[in-house]
Amino acid sequence: MSYADMFSLAGRHAVVIGAGGIGAEVVAGLAAHGARVSSLDKSLPTADSATQRAAAEHEGEHAAYEIDILDEAALSELAAQLGPVEVLVVTAAMNVRKQLLDYTAEEYDRVVDLNLRGTFHALRAFGPGMAEQGRGSIIAFSSLRALTVEPGQGVYAATKAGVVQMLRTLAAELGPNGVRVNAVAPGVVETPLTQQIRSDEQWNHAYASKSALGRWARPEEMVGAVVYLASDASTFVTGSQLVVDGGWTAIDGRFTPPFG
């Protein structure tokens, strides 16, 4: 294989679960690199929108499906209908920003169910087919909160750390079958889900200034990591977490001491 072709996804079928926000950019990015993309989302209009954009911007027969990742039977049935899948990307997640002692049991269940159990369902639905065909790349989105926490992020952080450990385990279990399993850990990204934070000037500035680059990420800036992990450019990468946080987790605070 030539180096020029290492990032090509031509001839591969990619499934993206969670087609809004970052997921929509992932759909477009995978299609741009030649993949045929199936967009899965709880809302068909959201999945349709991502798929139509991919079809309009790039050649290929892309499709959209309305599916609840928490409906294990329906997800497994759809996985069987879709046929061979070489790339699986899971972006679906939610957060309830509350201090731990203020959490209700219902809120805890909602966050844990979608973030952890939903990812588990996706792995169980598509992992066996990849293992059987002897190839595949599974990519799930974690978060910088899998590495660092702040008040109000405890349950979300726990689920994202759990996702990483689950992916590492699957990487060990499916490695002999030729299936790679990795995580992408974004920093703070401009999406509809973070609008509440960005609407607060002080909160918005605090998050922007924490990274080495001094700004929020754009959703499309997550695509390169996904394409890399999906492609032959990363054939010896598995059990890893690729952090795309603008340097957030590398910096100990933002105070610049006086020199000289």
Question: Would you please indicate which residues are annotated as catalytic (active-site) residues?
Answer: 156
In the 8-state DSSP scheme, what is residue 191? S
Nearest Cα to 207, choosing from 184, 226, 190, 192?
190
From residue 101, how far is each of 15, 93, 105, 107, 154 by CA, in Å?
A: 37, 22, 11, 12, 10
The residue among 62, 64, 181 whose CA lies nearest residue 127 is 181
SS3 string, 81-142, reads HHCCCCEEEECCCCCCCCCHHHCCHHHHHHHHHHHHHHHHHHHHHHHHHHHHHCCEEEEEEC
Residue type, 129: G
Task: Assess contact for 183 and 139: CB atoms under 8 A.
Answer: yes
**In one letter, which amino acid is 30?**
L
